[in-house]
Structure 1
Amino acid sequence: MGTIEPSSHLARDIAGDLVDAGLLREDDRAAATQVVAARVPHDARRTDRPATSRLAAEVAGYLGGILVVAAAAVFIASQWSRMGPGARVAALLVSALVLAGAALAVRRTAPAEHEATPLARQARLLLAGTLGVGAAAVAAGAVGTWGMQVAELEEPRPQQLGFGVACLLMILVYALTRTAVAHLGIAITAPLTLITLVLTQDPPRRAALVVAVMVLALGGVWLVLTERGVLRERTLGQVVGGVLSVIGAQTTIADDRSWIAYVLLAVVGAAAFVLYSRTLDWPYLGTGVVALTLAATEAAVDLSDGALGAAGALLVAGAVLLGASVLGLRLRTRDGADPAR
């Protein structure tokens, strides 16, 4: 079976049971596996290290696939200007189908959790997720090209179709692979889909405010899904949710009533510090610091009619940053955590 390694199936199963029972967080799974493995009887350990020949063949296959995809991309790019609208759509669709087929093939060959180490399984899923995201992006490009050049739809219908298809396919890829790259794919396409749906040829009177509210709500939903475990990548989900919330609140500054931006940023910052006090997860601290700094600085500059100048704005920003940092350290110390972490 190979040499002895500390990450055994039994240790991994025990750590997984602890995570499923809510006794450990998903981020602690790997560390718990190592700790439990140190106590596993010597004869219960076995490795899942692939043979050198198999590993070499797999790496060669990946490199070959990369070269084939690169060759296809170069060929399509060089012939793009000579293609008609139908040929362009067909070329993109074929490319998307090839990438999707490769993603499904890699996903089907990914070992089950009880058959391989987490690292080996995650590497295969990451490759499948990357191929799937590529397929989704190319398919969305095909839909957008069809809308603009074949169906000749009015703006922004092609963009709405393209981003909408991309978002739906990214969600499908994430459901199949549960990888960070697919998570990021959804994080990029979801807000763009919402924005294109609002910014039509005849946008609403307060389009900036509508977009801001939708993106802010999306950020809140993202955080809820992350905390409930629907989105497996906890830290990444917290970062994405925080960024979307700050962007949504900040977008309202384009509206005539700029004070709404200051209020929403302050609310986002306060909510982030509340979440940080409960979880001590650094993304919430970062979100709170950024949101409160933006709110205080922009409000001070606006209310003073620019009298503060650049120096005054920097002074306000620095003071808020210091205050938010002190608050974060106090919350961390109060809950018994190491401030150096």
Structure 2
Amino acid sequence: MSSSPSLWLDQPHVLIERIMTNVEKVILGKRDVVEKVVIALLCGGHLLLEDVPGVGKTMLVRAVSRTVGCDFKRIQGTPDLLPSDVTGVSVYNSRTEAFEFRPGPIMASIVLADELNRMPPKTQASLLEAMEEGRVTVDGVTYELPKPFLLLATQNPVDFDGTYPLPEAQLDRFLMKVSIGYPDAKHEVQLLGRTGERPALEALRPVLLQEELVELQREASRVHVDDSLKQYIVALASATRSSSDTLLGASPRATVALYKAVQARAFLQGRTYAIPDDVKIMTEPVFAHRLQLTPEARLSGRSGETVVRAAVGTVPIPPSSYAASSASAG
């Protein structure tokens, strides 16, 4: 595939649609999920996919990695995985009489952490610096990760055997948590029809170069967000913090994540400005997994999603003055 700078700047929506169409050759009937993955790509944010086994979590991440022409590595979560298995290790070279760094799989642009919550806590913690700062430190030496760097992780529900709960600090570093869900009957029948054929995943070819992804991320970050929408985002975060169902509400990192997700969704929709619907739609996938609920709320069957929906339902939507100010900003 040849790159085209004019396509980056003049027709970004064409390139974005190309990404989604390519992924949908493998992931059938999940347009909303694919859109959220593309939003994470545009934000440069990490994505957590949580669902029961067998619904295509790993397949989705592999489809994204094949769609984007970036270096890809996979980390398989196991109970005996060590931090050095993720970040890399310094090995003594007897010929040069010096230690040499052998990079781990984290040193790639797109990293799949499969079954992340099967890794022991110490190994999970080795990902924190990479997720927040885009670098890793091994034996006192810091190594920068490539740009862009995206961690796409899958996990099974925490009540499954052999899983470790992810710590709050790690959950807060994921831009969004998304569930794929079961396919509808029509698409599941279509999936059965592919049995015996060459796997659709193997047939995928990149439709996006690394420099094109970087340019799309830059353009998405320029989407105008009116001050009234910024105040709306902060008000939603404050509502989760003051809820009687939470011990910890959405953090300041969460408000920044929501701001970026709002910009990316507006850009995906072909707009140069954000609207309240962008905020309302993105609040749940960005905020819900970060909330720590009270024991009483958990026993009552409430969830982070419940708290976020209540916040969206009670916080007033800002007036439509954002439209005029966004037009002038453009």
Does TM, scored on the shorter chain, surpass 0.5? no
Query: Which has the larger share of helix?
Result: 1
Q: Which has the higher contact order (CA 8 A, sep 6+)?
A: 2
For the pair shown, the structure with the greater C-alpha radius of gyration is: 1
**Normalised TM-score (structure 2):** 0.29
